[in-house]
Each structure stands twice: as C-alpha cells, then as structure tokens.
Structure 1
Amino acid sequence: MHTRVTALLGTRYPIIQGGMQWVGRAELAAAVSNAGGLGVLTALTQPTPDALADEIARCRRLTDQPFGVNLTLLPTASPPPYEAYLDAAIAGGVRVLETAGRSPRRFIDKAKAAGLVVVHKCTSVRHALSAERDGVDAVSIDGFECAGHPGEDDVGGLVLIPAAARQVKIPLVASGGIADGRGMAAALALGAEGINMGTRFCATVEAPIHPRIKQALVDAGEPQTRLIFRSLRNTGRVLDNAVSREVIARETRPGGCGYEELRPLVAGARGRAALEAGEVDDGLVWAGQVVGLIDDIPDCATLIQRIVTDCRQRLHAAAQAFGLPPGAPR
C-alpha cells in the first residue's frame, strides 16, 4: 500500500501502533514493525531516559524495520524530563517521534533537525491545524471513540476525520474506533492516508499484558467503556470495571470531588499492576469503544495482514458497486 504516510514513515502499510502507557514496549513495537506497520515505544513507560535508551536498543535487536517513540506531554506542574527522553530517541536512531497531549512546539525543531519525522496526535481540527503550523510532518486525529483522552468536543471519527481532511494539508492519520479492514477502508474513504490503533494491538499475542486483560477486551462489547474525569475537563475512556465505576460515582455525587480524592484509584502504578497481574477490576484499563469489534487475540503479523487484505477487498467491492473499472484487489 502506498500513501504519503507510508512514504513518510518508511513502512509497507500505513498502520501505526499508537503509543500506550505500560504497553508500548519493545516486543510489541518490533512485532508491528516486522509485520509492515510502525511500532511505537512509549517513552514514559520507562522510568528514566537511560531506560528508554535500553528499550530502544532492545527493540533494535528485535527488528530492522522503522519504529517510533511516543512522547506524551502531560498537563502537570512537575513534568518528566521530556527533552532527555527526546535525546535518548535521537541518540538511538529512532525514525519517528509521535507526540500527544500538549503542544509539541518546543521540541519540533530539535527533533526534525535530528532527522525524526514528527506525528502529532490530537482530538480536534483546530489543534491539528495548530500542529501543522508548528511544523509537524503528519497529524493523527483521534475520534471520540478512542481510548485514552478523546478531548472535550465529543466528535466521533465519522465527522472528525473528513472535517480534518478538508483543512489539513499534511498527511492525516485516522485514530480511534478502528480494529479491522472495514475501519481502515472507511478511514481512507473519509480522507485519511493511514490509521493508528491502540486498543486492537492490546489484544495481540505480543502485547506485554496479562492474558486475562486481553480476554476482557475480547469479551467486552462496544457499550462497555466508561468516560472518567468528565468533571475535571480531562475526559478519559476506559474499560467498564469496578475502579472506573467508583471513579464515576465519586465524580457525580452531589458536590463532586477533586483529583486528589481520585488519585489512589487511578494511579498509574495501580493500573500497571492490574495489567501485569491480570486483575481486571484492580486498576484502570484504558480501552476504546472498538472493543466491540475485537473477537480474537492474533499475533501482530496475522492481524495486520488480515486488516490489509480486508481493506483492499472492501475498497474493491465499493468500486465495483459504482461501476468503476474492475480489477482484483491485490
């Protein structure tokens, strides 16, 4: 498959494994890259920039294909050493920097001077246009269906993707609510030139999380996610479980609550422990509505090939329905 996204990333297919806290590690990123997509290591999963350097080296031993590093810029008064993490990515010869969260403006020039392609993930057209003006190479636009933080506008991908495509001039990647070739074909038809998947890659053989968590994603239906932090204007989408229900109960009681009361429930260390131990109700499990489309736990190579094949077949069938020149999908 050839789009501006494959040309930019140096991949066979325009499929990106989004950066995910605790999940974006070498075994998953390398498997995605070896299968023709772009695997992504999550910088802040690693406790220090030196640890990220070691993880980059480990990924390099597992694949000779391009992979990226995600740097999520958090709204916090005590930020991690972002520039040191970026330096580790540069020193490790990483090809792609995926940024998310706050504006990556202050890191763009340094990253691009070192030869990195910068892809910024955002949740609105206005933020996509701002990132384009700042000089990023591509934008990944997150619909309201996505896991993680979908923003506060509540616009689904069916509207958000074409709304962005008609204004953004740089390559556009569709993110949120995509798990199969049908979703990829739809994203391409809506004006994107590639897709970004997070939740779907969690339910793969290589994802470094407990099998019980993967099975919970398979078992869940599309209504079984919850929106937390709505009262804090920092909305997050997670799997419906005991912890997310308790967070919502505290947020929605008379008088609400502040973040400090929620902190013990939502702490990253607690979520990581749940992912590793397979205790679905012990911590937040970040997941998108796409769980309703996940029926199995394949390896990454099988998943990507299936998505690409199905995407081609769907686009071919659509072309034939409108009497366009026949030709077998390749």
Structure 2
Amino acid sequence: MITTRFTELFGIEHPVVQGGMQRVSKAELVAAVANAGALGFLSALTQPTPQALTAEIERTRTMTAKPFGVNLTILPSLNPPPYEEYVQAIIDAGIKVVETAGRSPAPFMPAFNAAGVKVIHKCTSVKHAKKAQEVGCAAVIIDGFEAAGHPGEDDIPSLVLLPRAVDELAIPVIACGGFSDGRSLVAALALGADAVSMGTRFLGTEEAPVHANLKQKLLEASELDTQLIFRKFRNTARVFKNAIAVEVAEIEKQAESEFGDVAELVAGKRGAVVLESGDMEHGIWWAGVSAGLIHDIPSVADLVARIVGDAEHIIRQRLAALTI
C-alpha cells in the first residue's frame, strides 16, 4: 500500500487519478476507476445539460459505492455553457471533489467551499499553481509538456515542472504528462508528487467508451506519434498524429493563416465521430507521448493493480538494493 497526502486527504486507496476527458469520462470508465481504488472524474461538459450531468452522476453511483469526482473545464467562449448551473448540479448531487481546468475556479470557490467540495485545479505552470493554492484549491494537477490536451506555452517537461511546483506549494501536487505505469508512479513520488493523473493510459483500457480502432492505434503508437497544433495561436495542443493533425500543422505554417482556416478540421463534432465510428482520420483526438508505453488493453482494475504493484516492487526491491 502506498499512502500519500493525496490518498489521505481524498480518502482514496491508491495515488492514481483518471482525469476528466471530454466524451470519454463517462460512468462506465469512472466507476471502474473508483472500484479499482483510484480517483476518477466524470466530464461535466460531456453531458449536454446540468440535468444530464445529474443523471450521469446517479448512473455512476449504480456501478460503484466508492468516491469519484466531476471535472469542470472552464474555457472562454462566445456562448459559454451555464457554468453556474453545472456547479449547482455538482453540489446538489453531493459530489465532494471537483477537478477544474482552463480558467481559474475562483468565481466558483465560495459555492464549492460552502458545500464542503475539495477542488483540484489543473495547471501548466508554477505561476498558475500558486494562484490555485491562493484561491483555496485543496490540490493541483501539474501538466508537463508530455501531456495530451493543452500543456501550456512554456514547453517544460514533467521532470522539471513537477519538482518546481512541489518546491513552491504547500498543498498536494498531482503529476500529469507522461505517466502510465509503476515506474512513472515511483518517479513522480521521488520528485515530490502525491499522486499521478493519467488520461491516455486510461484510454487504453477495456472500459474506456471509445471505438476499438482507437485502442488499436494506441497499441501501435510510439512516443513519436503525437502532433503539436495551435502553436501559432498560443493555444498549443497535443493530439494523436493523423492526417488531419498533420494538415492543421501545415496550414499553421502559412504566414497569413488564421484559426478560422483550421476551425472546421478541428471541430469537436469531427472528434466525436472518431471516438464513435472508429474512423481515425476523420478528426483530431487527444493523446500524450505516453502512448508509446501502451502495450496492452487491460481492464481498469488490472491496470491500477499492476501500476501500484510494480511501484511497490520497485521501491522495496530495486531501490532498496541500491542503498548501502
């Protein structure tokens, strides 16, 4: 058993987190993570309305009696979703841990605090992590440059960004970006983290609600099979390298290109088709460089047990043997 500030503060058996993934973090996956003794997050905005989120929370509870949370990603938009209503739905459902990402959760902290909800904010820089601590977050997730999604604009990998954050913060730090197995869990703990958060690795599990073709792509992938896009627009994103991702990157190289030139290619509705139909070239889909470390598609229970078991073995056997 590996016990950290994270496991103690959040009442979780293992220091492993399944981050909120748009269109992926649904009841089947999150319940399996919870039952395995890790912490899983439903994706609030995967649900079209706050009422649908309430129903998904209740559906998850029919599959597990263990703790799980909800991810709320807060992004600038011309037509933003009703964030306040989603927050209230989370609170009314009795959820006690929320993962936020994107903009600061500060506007919603009074409501979460009043309801006894612990907030974990996902950050891509030490500056933002310190701000999250300042506004009252219980913990932060630190996204290294290896991560899928939006890893920030500083290009700092986990090996440096993680201990920098640990040095600056008093609250628990959860490592994200490149973590996928027992070896990387031990590395994160050695760097001062209290847990690891994984997205890409959980995509490659039996319970992940995505097409089998996507899981096969992960099995075939190396660490070279991701593509950075949106660099020109200062909104860097790491996705799987397919024809669409490469086309977007090539358009960005054109001197006068604007986001509107790629908007249709990267539309969320096209990504949804990828996950549901298995047409892996129809749109972009998220993947981190840890895809190169995925060699099987286990159940969530087997994956979590293997990660923790391997980490315990490394700590007790290999590392202990290196000391005098």
State the TM-score bracket (shorter-chain normalisation): over 0.9
Q: List gaps (5 residues or longer) in structure 2.
A: none
In terms of mean alpha carbon deviation, does 212-221 or 70-79 score higher?
70-79
TM-score (norm 2): 0.98
Aligned counterpart, 1:275: 275
Bigger drift between 276-285 and 178-187 goes to 276-285
What stretches of structure 1 of length at least 5 have no aligned partner?
A: 324-330
Match of residue 305 from structure 1: 305
Q: State the distance in 2 between where 1:320 and 1:141 align.
A: 31
What residue number does 1:294 align with? 294
Please show how residues 44-59 of structure 1 align to structure 2 within 5 Å. Answer: 44-59=45-60
Q: The residue matched to 1:19 in structure 2 has which SS?
A: coil
Q: Counterpart of 1:155 in 2: which secondary structure?
A: coil
Conservation of the 8 A alpha-carbon contact between 1:74 and 1:102: yes
Q: Secondary structure at the match of 1:306?
A: helix
Please give the per-residue CA displacement for 1:71-113, whole angstroms capped at 9, x wherever unaligned: 0011223211111111111111112100001111111121121
CA distance in 2, matches of 1:319, 1:150: 34
* Higher mean C-alpha deviation, range 110-119 or range 128-137: 110-119
Deviation (angstroms), 1:201: 0.2
Query: Does the CA contact (< 8 Å) of 1:98 and 1:119 recur in 2?
Result: yes
Residue 74 of structure 1 aligns to which amino acid in structure 2? L
Cα RMSD, aligned residues only? 0.8
Report the CA distance between 1:167 and its aligned residue: 0.9
- CA distance in structure 1 between the partners assigned to 2:71 and 2:47 by the alignment: 11
Q: Residue 119 of structure 1 corresponds to which residue in structure 2?
A: 120
User: What are the superposed Cα offsets for residues 12-71 of structure 1, whole Å, 9 maximum, x if unpaired?
Assistant: 011110000000100000000000001110001111111101100100111000000000
Residue 24 of structure 2 is matched in structure 1 by 23
Shift of 1:320: 2.4
Distance in 2, matches of 1:56 and 1:8, equals 22
How far is the alpha carbon of 1:309 from its aligned partner? 0.5
Task: Provide the residue aligned with 1:260 in structure 2.
Answer: 260
Whole-angstrom distance in 1 between the partners of 2:232 and 2:307: 37
Deviation at 1:218, TM superposition (A): 1.3
Amino acid at match of 2:308: V
- 1:159 to 2:124 alignment: no
Alignment length, in residue pairs? 322
Deviations 1:263-282 (A, max 9, x none): 11111111011111111111
CA contact (8 A) 1:40 1:68 kept: yes
SS of the aligned residue for 1:263 comes to coil
Q: Which residue of 2 aligns with 1:225?
A: 226
CA distance in 1, matches of 2:8, 2:51: 30
Residue in structure 1 matched with residue 217 of structure 2 by the alignment: 216
Q: Residue 174 of structure 1 aligns to a residue in which SS?
A: strand
Percent of pairs with identical residues: 53
User: In structure 2, how many angstroms separate the alpha carbons of the residues matched to 1:184 and 1:239?
Assistant: 23
SS of residue in 1 equivalent to 2:62? helix
1:45-84 pair list within 5 angstroms: 45-84=46-85
Opposite residue 281 of structure 1, the aligned amino acid is E
Measured in 2, the distance between the counterparts of 1:122 and 1:14 equals: 18
Following TM superposition, where does structure 1 have runs of at least 4 consecutive aligned residues deviating by more than 3 angstroms? none
Match of 1:328?
A: none
Once the two structures are TM-superposed, the CA of residue 244 in structure 1 deviates from its matched residue by: 0.3
**Aligned partner of residue 94 in structure 1, secondary structure:** coil
- Specify the SS of the correspondent of 1:70: strand
